Chain A
């Protein structure tokens, strides 16, 4: 029934708590799917799922909760709609990489910096990309990221370390790692 007061107040509460994080949801989906149209579909589905699961939200901080739903929806969606991607091993010693940042060339601000940085993020394997986006663009704490991804805080740290290292490498590589 359209005028069910419970549904109406539930919706009002959902709008107040979840809709403010629509940009964060879209940004995450867009970076994971690397396509705006796909991100739209994913986010819309995620919000409907979130509404159904709304009673599971504890407290008022809906952002990590919502982003976890977006992320899960995203991977389900991508698995159904796209070929599975290859996995990348992230067991490499920290010092094994070269030192890309030693080259001051990429320190210089350039007009195409945004394009190069975007390309580098898009090039990251998904498990690093999601950690990097949640940390650097959404400013989530390690603990919040651990909650979103259902992984230990220590793993958040190591993936973030590895992700940044890869980014640095893409950015120093000639052309900035296009893809």
Chain B
């Protein structure tokens, strides 16, 4: 077969886009053709250099904020805003006082009560999705800690992919021993760890890398039994977590939610 076609196959093979039979034919050709071997070498080296050394330009935090500010629509994640569309519930007693008889007063009271109840229901419906629950506030704190670490460049206190380095590092710094594992073969390589402060206590943070993204996993002892808190998405960051083996886990990153879930399941 001609070298033109083989060069095409070399490129495909390097990117994992060549099927097995075609690859077998390619291997046979490479055995016999030094020019194509050279071509493959050139491409493999250029590819490796790029993946190893090229700069990945992450978006500045200020850009993230600028976009969030510029997008139309209510800011879903901001602090609870007053329910502009629902007037404050009126006090039925004050209204009732203006009635002439007890019956009329009762009727008015009842009517006002209904209005008040409707207002309260509207206010509740408008406010509820916006008022962060305890878990929502925790997610906000986790996102803030993650963003701060990225912003200040203080993402790691100890940089190591070796759990036998990271785990002992925690002892003496924390009053618990977090589980430390590397999932490099699953695409989540351990980059290191740091300490952070959350829920009014010092917590462990394991830092994983997935493609070009950084994932922080916050770990601290749990009181409750095994459970899964709801997922949160704040300013483009996903927060997923679980409680298992006596530990609380919260993973935060800008990777896709599915990928983050995969890591949480591994933990």
Chain A residues in the interface with B (C-beta under 8 A) = 2-4, 7-8, 10-12, 14-16, 18-20, 22-23, 25-27, 30-31, 36, 39-40, 43-44, 47-48, 51, 93-95, 99-102, 106-107, 113-114, 116-118, 121, 132, 135-137, 139, 141-142, 157-158, 160-161, 164-165, 167-168, 171
Contacts and interface: CB of A to CB of B under 8 A. Distances in A.
A161 B43 contact: yes
Contacts of B213: 23
Interface residues of B, number: 57
B42 A100 contact: yes
A165 B85 CA distance: 62
Interface of B: 3-4, 7-8, 11-12, 15, 17, 35, 38-39, 41-47, 49-60, 63-64, 66-68, 70-74, 76-77, 84-85, 126, 211-213, 233, 235-238, 254-257
Given A48-B71, A102-B38, A160-B15, 10 more contacts: A7-B72, A16-B257, A31-B57, A36-B57, A40-B60, A40-B66, A94-B7, A117-B49, A142-B17, A164-B11
9 contacts: A3-B85, A8-B74, A15-B71, A15-B236, A51-B71, A95-B39, A101-B38, A114-B54, A165-B46
A19 B35 contact: no
Given A23-B58, A101-B45, A132 B50 contact: yes
A168 B41 CA distance: 10
A106 B3 CA distance: 26
Given A22-B59, A137-B50, A2 B236 contact: no
Nearest to B76: A12
Contacts of A167: 46, 49-50
Contacts of B3: 94-95
Contacts, number: 179
Contacts of B7: 94-95, 161
Contacts of A165: 42-43, 46
Given A7-B73, A16-B233, A27-B58, A22 B64 contact: yes
A75 B50 CA distance: 24
Contacts of A113: 49, 52-53
A95 to B, nearest CB: 6
